[in-house]
């Protein structure tokens, strides 16, 4: 299992276009071979955000990165949507979880 951590800071322009492309990419990644899951957060004040995505392999990450629509979203990100971003890719060595479930 591999994880992609995408940290970004949004510009103050192009909110509608960003929302549309964000929705398109969230839908598209669901169909990407080797995709497992993802979660995203963005602070509305600082406009800083993070997306954490899990993929089965580095090859599945490379395939996702190279899809034409995703390449276009990357271009738009650099041109209009982001002030800056960082992408980190790491192999998951261990996972531990715990949950307290209340009455249902």
Q: What are the pLDDT digits (tens) for 22-62?
A: 999 999 999 999 999 999 999 999 999 999 999 999 999 99
Contact indicator for 38, 6 with CB cutoff of 8 Å: no
Domain containing residue 74: 2-91
CATH number, position 7? 3.30.70.100
pLDDT for 101 equals 82
pLDDT for 96 equals 93
Q: Is residue 68 part of a domain?
A: yes
pTM for the predicted model, two decimal places: 0.88
- Structural domains of the chain, count: 1
Secondary structure element (H or E) that encloses residue 25, with its range: helix 15-29
Contact indicator for 69, 28 with CB cutoff of 8 Å: yes
pLDDT for 49 equals 97
Section 74-90 average pLDDT: 97
């Amino acid at each position: 299992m591999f994880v992609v951590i995408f940290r970004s800071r949004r510009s103050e322009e192009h909110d509608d276009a960003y929302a549309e492309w964000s929705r398109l990419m969230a839908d598209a990644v669901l169909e990407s071979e080797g995709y497992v899951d993802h979660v995203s957060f963005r602070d509305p004040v600082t406009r800083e955000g993070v997306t954490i995505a899990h993929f089965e392999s580095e090859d599945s990450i490379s395939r996702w990165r190279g899809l034409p629509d995703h390449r276009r979203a990357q271009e738009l990100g650099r041109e209009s949507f982001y002030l800056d971003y960082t992408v980190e890719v790491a192999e998951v060595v261990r996972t531990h979880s715990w949950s307290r479930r209340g009455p249902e």
